[in-house]
Amino acid sequence: MFHAPNGLQKDRATGASREPEPLQRRTTTAEPAPPAPPASPVPQDAPGTAPVKRRDAYFDNAKYLAIVLVAVAHAWEPVMEGSRATRAAYMLVYAFHMPAFIVISGYFSRSFQARPDQLKRLVSGVVVPYAVFEIAYTLFKRWADDDPDYPFSMNDPIYLTWFLIALFVWRLTTPLWRSVRWPLAIALALAALGTLTPGMGQSLDLQRILQFLPFFVLGLSMRPEHFQMLRRREVRLLALPVFAVAAVSAYWVAPHLRMGWFYRSTSAVELDAPWWAGPLMTLVLFGCGLLLTAAFLAWVPRRRTWFTVLGAGTICGYLLHGFLVKSLEYWGLVARYPWLAEPAGVIAVTVAAAAAVTLLCTPPVRRALRFATEPELSWAFRQDVTRLPDGATDAASRTSR
């Protein structure tokens, strides 16, 4: 497969995750308390909960920049046919944008213990958006692609909804990964075994769940000092040649390497490769993804910027930008306007995709979509489930994916 998948193939990995935020703990001191900081623009989890939870600008910046790369890469899919440079850029982005999201998701899942209140947030923040957008994308496919018989299916994620069900499974298994020895080695072994199992991706995209699992488990094993190391000057300087070498390598292999390896949605046999290529590519892509993720995170700003607030709305940008990308495909806009596949057109598509996803991450869009992405489901759970237990230190505030 030397070009991007068509239609609603499960070959498209994207994403951004909903992660609970780190808790800012209060310290006890005999000195007078300092003046209260300005109110955070991010809503707290529940009225009356303490201590106050504040967002980390670094991770919000990382999520916003990553979701821009996701949207841009998706927008390249309809226009990259015949362009080696665009295909190489697409491969470069796909090598690390999903690993970056998943590592961060794992990092913020470290405190998940499957408590009732955590399960309630998992349902409202992952399961409900999955069901809503699985239906929405199916209806859009029926209407925009003139395919009224396209079936509804809750066990066959459509387009980008696969990441929601994957996050649901990974979070549920967090207590297990926090308990076993050598969790990363076990996760890599499971990912390698997944590449040897044809047809597994047809149910809940299990192929992707297994093949991306090592990045989530790695995130569970990380600590704050690991991210501090990435912000050191020498690491930032090393990141530049890493990206340069990766870009040159991507351009070199672009005509020869099948994109299915990056999507992690199929086995080695289904990619017409020998069985041993699956475990080998699992290790190679894990190493490449980890290295490029580190290089990307090294250059994420640590301070608050104009786009920091948009990091709280990446769930909306992620779930909504797919309708725009699918419109290019369903309505045949590239065939109708061939200039879109030319260099100037690719630049225009890139800028438009970045601007559109930025708009979709803004607070007004987040508030308008809260009924689907952050619904209040207290009515569906017992009262003792909707409250955090006394002394709980789980960072449970709603964040974006």
209-252 pLDDT, tens digit per residue, is: 999 999 999 999 999 999 999 989 999 999 999 999 999 999 99
Which of 152, 161, 196, 131 lies closest to 15 in space, CA to CA?
A: 161
Residue 223 inside a domain? The answer is yes
Per-residue pLDDT, 386: 57
List the end-to-end C-alpha distance of the chain, in Å, as a whole number: 30
Which of 96, 80, 101, 95 lies closest to 5 in space, CA to CA?
A: 80
Q: Look at residue 11 and tell me whether its pLDDT is greater than 80.
A: no
Residue 269 inside a domain? The answer is yes
Average pLDDT over residues 383-389: 64
| Least confident piece of the model among 22-31, 52-61, 121-130, 230-239 | 22-31
Per-residue pLDDT, 383: 78
Residue 44 inside a domain? The answer is no
| Least confident piece of the model among 38-52, 137-151, 260-274, 332-346 | 38-52
CA distance 8 to 333: 17
Per-residue pLDDT, 69: 95
- Cβ neighbours for 179, distance < 8 A, ≥ 6 positions apart: none
Residue 113 inside a domain? The answer is yes
Percent of the chain whose predicted confidence (pLDDT) is above 90? 76
Say how many domains are in the chain.
1
pTM: 0.82
Q: What pLDDT, in 10s, does the model give residues 331-374? A: 999 989 999 999 999 999 999 999 999 999 999 999 999 999 99
The whole domain housing 355 covers: 57-380
Residue 3 inside a domain? The answer is no
Is residue 82 very low, low, confident or very high in pLDDT (cuts 50, 70, 90)?
A: confident
CA–centroid distance for 227 within its chain: 18
Residue 152 inside a domain? The answer is yes
State the average pLDDT for the chain. Answer: 85
Residue 21 inside a domain? The answer is no
Q: What pLDDT, in 10s, does the model give residues 47-72? A: 333 344 678 999 999 999 999 999 99
Residue 80 inside a domain? The answer is yes
